[in-house]
Amino acid sequence: MLVVIVLLFLVELPYKIYAPGGMVDLKTRVSVDEGNEYDGTLGMAYVSMVRGSIPYLLLSYVIPDWDIVPESELKYDNETMEEKIEADKVSTQQSIDNAIIAAYHLAGFPIEVESENVHITYIDEQANTDLEILDVVKSVNSVEVSSTEELKKLIEGYSAGDEVTFLVERDGKMRECHATLYDTVDGVKVGVALTTTYNYEEDPSANITMKQSESGPSGGLMMSLAIYNSLVSEDITKGKTVIGTGTIDIDGNVGAIGGVKYKLIGAVREGADVFLVPSDNYEEALEVKNEKDYDIILLSVDSLSDAIAQLNALN
């Protein structure tokens, strides 16, 4: 019986369970040299993901707000969960870079973006290439690539059927790879997805740390708010517990995320006074708030500056 019980927990079916999460207090993750301290809390909301073993799947039918999600909805058909996780870690680094750059620009502190790193984070099943996920592209047909836009423009200059040679960095070593281009409704493609990270110098120095188990871009908005709040003299939290979610780009634009239901439930359990949500997710969050009769301020935001303005407007 003991062996059977152990096996039931060890055998994992192709499902995950989404459950209400909690928040990461960014005071423990964000640091700025000689940065300002603040009384309130800026928290990064997250979704809890439970393994798809048989006991947990059965529990999801009786535990409120535990929902079964097929792995096929979490990744591409030709992508493994391991590859998805690795790609999400690159997205996390992009989110950190974007958060710092956007916050420094808005706060008026010096930051210089020196170069971009172009990472391959997905390879389509139609692609004819020996490129691999996590390769960092250095050149195409001996032409140096210093940004994602440069790479796209280079590829646009070729035709379907052309073979191009990539120089990439893989596991700390330079390698030569090849790809045969093909036609799509959007033009000639290699068949890869790209994610950009940045090399930059900022003053004062800033740092954001993440755990190995944490990945994805949805913490960008809150990380940027935490950096901004450390740079400026006024405390945008006004002593409140502010939890939220949303992606961010280097220009401070906030993008949609997944799992807002679970993040809002978790934020309320963490005692949040305010929940920040991307405007594209606002209606879903509002429906959950009304359905559960939550006493929480729900703010729909489109940008970093918009979030700061709305927080400053609160009493």
Residue pLDDT, tens place only, 84-134: 888 889 999 999 999 999 999 999 999 999 999 999 999 999 999 999 999
Q: Which two tokens stand for residue 263?
A: 């993040």
Rounded mean pLDDT, 174-195 = 94
Q: 229-234 long-range contacts, Cβ below 8 Å, gap at least 24?
A: 229/36, 229/38, 229/42, 230/30, 230/31, 230/32, 230/35, 230/36, 230/38, 230/206, 231/32, 231/35, 231/36, 231/103, 231/104, 231/107, 231/109, 232/36, 232/107, 233/36, 234/312
Q: Between these two residues, 215 and 9, which has the higher pLDDT value?
A: 215
Helix (H) or strand (E) holding 137: strand 136-140
- Residue 158's pLDDT is what? 94
- Residue 312: pLDDT band with limits 50, 70, 90: very high
Determine contact, residues 189/182, Cβ cutoff 8 Å. Answer: yes
- Residue 82's pLDDT is what? 83
- Residue 128's pLDDT is what? 95
Q: Any idea what DSSP says for residue 281?
A: G
Rounded mean pLDDT, 177-196 = 94
Residues near 227 by beta carbon (within 8 Å), at least 6 away in sequence = 30, 32, 99, 100, 103, 104, 107, 206, 208
The span from the CA of 118 to the CA of 147, in Å, is 6
- Residue 79's pLDDT is what? 76
Kindly tell me if the per-residue pLDDT of 177 is higher than 90.
yes
Backbone angles phi, psi at 152, to 5 degrees: -65, -40
Q: Which two tokens stand for residue 236?
A: 């945008």
- Residue 145's pLDDT is what? 93
The span from the CA of 200 to the CA of 216, in Å, is 21
Kindly tell me if the per-residue pLDDT of 288 is higher than 80.
yes
The closest alpha carbon to 101, from 228, 256, 235, belongs to: 228
Determine contact, residues 223/99, Cβ cutoff 8 Å. Answer: yes
Question: What pLDDT, in 10s, does the model give residues 260-282?
Answer: 999 999 999 999 999 999 999 99
Question: What pLDDT, in 10s, does the model give residues 37-68?
Answer: 999 999 999 999 998 998 889 999 999 999 99
Whole-number mean pLDDT of the chain?
93
Residues near 139 by beta carbon (within 8 Å), at least 6 away in sequence = 145, 166, 167
Question: What pLDDT, in 10s, does the model give residues 100-110?
Answer: 999 999 999 99
Domains of the chain (ranges plus CATH)? 20-48+81-109+207-313 (3.30.230), 113-197 (2.30.42.10)
Question: What pLDDT, in 10s, does the model give residues 204-261?
Answer: 999 999 988 888 899 999 999 999 999 999 999 999 999 999 999 999 999 999 999 9
- Residue 6's pLDDT is what? 73
- Residue 74: pLDDT band with limits 50, 70, 90: confident
- Residue 287's pLDDT is what? 97
- Residue 31's pLDDT is what? 95
